[in-house]
Amino acid sequence: MEPNLISKKELLDEKGISYGQLYRWKRKQLIPEDWFIRKSTFTGQETFFPRDLILARIDKIMNMKDDLSLDELADQFSPLLPEYELRKADLMKRNIVSNVVIERFASVDSDSIVYTFERLLYFFVADKLLHAGDMSMEEGERLLQTMREHFPKFEGKACDLLFARKMGVSSFALLSVPADIYYESGVKLIARLSMNECIEQLKAKLM
């Protein structure tokens, strides 16, 4: 058995949830379709899930389901970009991304400019990588450029951001998932961020 997968039965036992709940959450699209991995075992077909993803998601659902309706939860988890806009002044006030990022990448924009969710997401990703100490300011510029140019092409489909470096030269790439990628030796993968996860985190921060 692959260690990073969990079978449906184990999941139900571990979390104390019923089949009904699981199917209901799936129906409400709280659990993405591509997490349901069907495999043959000696007892016939069984369904498996990516262990870390599903456990975190179930915890989140169980914590939030008392405060939010299932439909509201579904909006939270949906990879679609919400129609959300925020003025630059509010962005700074609410401390969603650090001021360093705003000063560096948005200094030309006036305070009254309105950012779409997409633009906020780009700042958020840059902020994340800068904070982790993975990326330099100059690379940040290139990151934003890459995102602006290529991210809309995915049209809401799940994608990952790859950030790799070889002999000090860095490069960014956007990759639709699920996909495996292998590099030549000497390339160091510095970060791989799931955009859907970033969208989710940013949504939680904004709401």
Partner 1 sequence: MVGTTTSAGGLFRDVKLIGESEFHGNVDCLKFTNTGEVEVNGSLKAASELKVTGECTIRGSLEARRLRGRGEIKILQGLRGEHIKFTGNIDTGGDCEIDACELQGAFNIEGLLSADHLELKMFGPCRAREIGGTALSVKRSKASKLLSIFRSSGNAGLTVDQIEGDRVQLEYTVAAVVRGKHVTVGPGCEIGRVEYGETLTVHKSAIVKQRVKQ
Nearer to partner 1, 44 or 178 (CB): 44
Alpha-carbon gap, residue 133 to 136, rounded angstroms: 8
Nearer to partner 1, 23 or 183 (CB): 23
**Backbone phi, psi, residue 29, to 5°:** 60, 35
Nearest distance from residue 16's CB to partner 1, in Å? 12
Is residue 27 a contact point for partner 1 (CB under 8 A)? yes
Nearest distance from residue 186's CB to partner 1, in Å? 45
Query: Of these, 16, 40, 42, 43, which contacts partner 1 (CB under 8 A)?
Result: 43
Is residue 19 a contact point for partner 1 (CB under 8 A)? yes
DSSP structure class, residue 50: E
Contact 196, 78 (CB under 8 A): no
Helix, strand or coil for residue 199?
Answer: helix
Question: Among candidates 147, 178, 176, which has minimal Cα distance to 159?
Answer: 176
Is residue 24 a contact point for partner 1 (CB under 8 A)? yes
Length of the chain: 207
Size of the site for partner 1 (CB under 8 A): 14
Judged by the rule CB under 8 A, the positions of this chain that interact with partner 1 are: 8-9, 18-24, 26-27, 43-45
